[in-house]
Amino acid sequence: MKVNVTVLILLCSMFLVSAQETDEINTEVLLGEWKLDMSPQNPNDNNFAMMRITSVDNNEMKGTFYREGVKLRNGRINTQSAIIYGALISGDNSGEYNSAFYFKNGKLYGSTHAVQRGFLAIWVAEKIN
């Protein structure tokens, strides 16, 4: 009887791993325009930025970040943990910005690190179209 239980557990484990590997996560939920609340801890602050994701292909994304015309560079997506994670680089006249986020319940939760300006901003984004 012990051998049958062991075989059953092994077969179930193999099935679960196989099912997880074949489940596709729809990264197209990222497509569109997002309004980033740059100070989510302060409901009285109206500081925001915009991000438009125009394409997602395999593990790459393209679009603009912060304001129109500022292209995001090296946009990458990772879904290994069954959660959509993204990272990108953007920049303006004050330097480069490294941003990362994850998607949960229809929102993006992220951070932007401005190395030259010496700050780390935490943000929450909602899709506006």
Mind listing the pLDDT tens digit for each residue in 29-67?
Answer: 999 999 999 888 888 888 899 999 999 998 999 999 987
Q: Is the pLDDT of residue 1 over 80?
A: no
CB distance 69 to 92 below 8 Å? no
Residue keyed to tokens 């302060």: 42
- pTM for the model stands at 0.78
Q: Are strands 32-37 and 107-114 parallel, antiparallel or unpaired?
A: unpaired
Parallel, antiparallel, or unpaired for β 85-92 and 95-104? antiparallel
Cα angle: 93, vertex 70, 121; to 5 degrees:
70
Rg (CA), the chain: 19
CATH number of 26-127: 2.40.128
Output DSSP code: residue 31: -
Are 83 and 103 a contacting pair, CB within 8 Å? yes
Q: What is the model's pLDDT at position 23?
A: 59
Bigger pLDDT: 39 or 102?
A: 102
Q: What angle do CA 88, 46, 115 make, to 5 degrees?
A: 35
pLDDT value at residue 2 = 53
* Domain residue extents for the chain: 26-127
In 3D space, the residue among 19, 18, 36 whose CA is nearest the CA of residue 111 turns out to be 36
More confident residue, 123 or 13: 123
| 51 or 8, greater pLDDT | 51
